[in-house]
Amino acid sequence: RGSNIPPIEPFLSEVNYKKVKEILILARDAHMNMLRVHAHVDNPILYELADEMGILLWQDFPLQWLYDRSVLPRAKKQVIDMITLLFAHPSVVTWSMHNEPIYVVDTKTEDTFFNKIRLLFSSFIWSWNRDVMDKKLASIAEKADNTRFINPSSGTFDLFRKGTDGHLYFGWYPVFGKLGKLDMFMRIFPANIRFVTEFGAQSFPNYETSKKYLPDDSFEIDWQFVETHYLAQRDLLNRWVNINECEVLKDMIERTQSYQAELNRYYVDRLRAHKYRPCGGFLNFMLFDSHFAISWSVIDNELIPKSSYFALKNALNPVYAFTLVNPLKRYSRNFEFFIYTVNDSSKAYPRVGIEVKVEDEKKRIVMKDVLYTALEPDSPVKCIGRYSLKFRQSGIHTISLRLKYANEVLDNCYTVKIR
């Protein structure tokens, strides 16, 4: 369970012990035990503190997307340099040679038929970067270090070839489709969720941070500047949360962070539901920003957690109770749902209680129940309850779960739209 991290600072020389420690504490407090050092090598302080705090690191070699063939000789040398530099750090458990070695265009670039063909061809048929260069780099890495897992390329789909870790953007990039398509994808292509290292959606930073860079009146925002300098993908923000409707900055922040929180939990719930069958772990994209950005982070550049950070923290709790519903779907009045529990901790819990409550739009209780179960150490998911309800009216209904174990309490709340 974890996240991706960008460079701690835009300039490596400006990295300091205090900031790195604060980032790692935020990660640990959110129940993360692994971070992916995404497409860069960071300041030595990161690796020293990760060793000290017991946080695992997935280390990328700094290659992303496509390169000319002339880079191979330099890449061969530099992969040895990276392994030599970081070999002695026990926190580093994986070397990954190349992030997404496929043809990628900017989201603002016209989505032409030619671009689609190049993307599909490089993804599923042939990419010199993936099929030649990355294999050579992986071979060099294996000879330099036979004690760690070597990943030749990150984000290679298990379709028509043996895949690697999964990069899934249902609910964000249109090529993947709506969020609900994730469920069908997982059923048909389960090998792609063995270890997922990217999923997420963009959101605005918190208001106190955003107001330093953006006007309160949303109509005064210079979107060309924001897209160029702050990473915002405006078309996609509009596609999923319709920020054009927002008149003030606070509305944009609330709407985007809410969607980000919902999307992250949607992925986490389903990946945890497939624990060891076949999912062995997942890392969301991403933890924080190095500079002001409207990005996939759940912590802004001033290290202030967004509301989506706390939602992710809740979803990553080692002992967890959840259900699998789609907040964007409209269900019929004959509604069925299941209650699941999972335990990622090394402790056994002989008696765990889950209070289940369903309320309608007017907060009237439709159903209430209490379930009990026992959780073994590091147990896979258990389905402990099944409910079939017939709602009398349409509208937004709420499913509330309260998990009680040892002396801990965890609340989880889901909204369901009934047509």
Total domains present in the chain: 2
Closest CA to 7 of 30, 26, 23: 23
Task: Tell which of 273, 292, 317 closes a domain.
Answer: 317
Summarised one tens digit per residue, pLDDT across range 214-242 is 999 999 999 999 999 999 999 999 999 99
Question: For the domain that residue 384 is a member of, what is the CATH number?
Answer: 2.60.40.10
CA 403 – CA 319 distance, rounded (Å): 9
CA 263 – CA 257 distance, rounded (Å): 10
Whether 417 has a pLDDT exceeding 90, the answer reads yes
Residues 225 and 169 in one domain: yes
Confidence of residue 114 (pLDDT cuts 50, 70, 90): confident
Residue 231, number of CB atoms within 10 A of its CB: 16
Whether 107 has a pLDDT exceeding 90, the answer reads no
Judged by DSSP in three states, 25 sits in helix
Residues 277 and 359 in one domain: no
Residues 240 and 260 in one domain: yes
Residue 116, number of CB atoms within 10 A of its CB: 13
CA 326 – CA 307 distance, rounded (Å): 20
Q: Scanning the structure block, which residue is given the tokens 């040679």?
A: 97
Summarised one tens digit per residue, pLDDT across range 194-204 is 999 999 999 99
Mean pLDDT over each residue of the chain, to the nearest integer = 97
Residues 185 and 202 in one domain: yes
Confidence of residue 159 (pLDDT cuts 50, 70, 90): confident
Tell me what the mean pLDDT of segment 376-386 comes to.
97
Residues 127 and 18 in one domain: yes
CA 188 – CA 164 distance, rounded (Å): 17
Predicted pLDDT at 110? 64
Residues 281 and 350 in one domain: no
Tell me the H-state helices in 125-216: 128, 134-144, 181-188, 207-210
Task: Tell which of 317, 345, 369 closes a domain.
Answer: 317
Q: Scanning the structure block, which residue is given the tokens 């497939």?
A: 274
Residues 301, 290: contact at Cβ < 8 Å?
Answer: yes
Residue 116 is encoded by which pair of tokens? 């689609």
pTM summary value: 0.97
Residues 325 and 309 in one domain: no
Q: Scanning the structure block, which residue is given the tokens 């990005």?
A: 295
Residues 255 and 326 in one domain: no
Radius of gyration for the alpha carbons in the chain, expressed in angstroms and rounded: 22
Predicted pLDDT at 311? 99
Q: Which amino acid is at 394?
A: S
User: Phi and psi dihedrals of 254, rounded to 5?
Assistant: -65, -45
CA 396 – CA 392 distance, rounded (Å): 12
Residue 376 is encoded by which pair of tokens? 């073994």
Summarised one tens digit per residue, pLDDT across range 340-372 is 999 999 999 999 999 999 999 999 999 999 999
Task: Tell which of 298, 317, 336 closes a domain.
Answer: 317
Question: For the domain that residue 252 is a member of, what is the CATH number?
Answer: 3.20.20.80
Q: Look at the alpha carbons of 288, 150, 96, 182 in this order and tell me if their dihedral is positive or negative.
A: negative
Q: Which domain holds residue 110?
A: 2-317
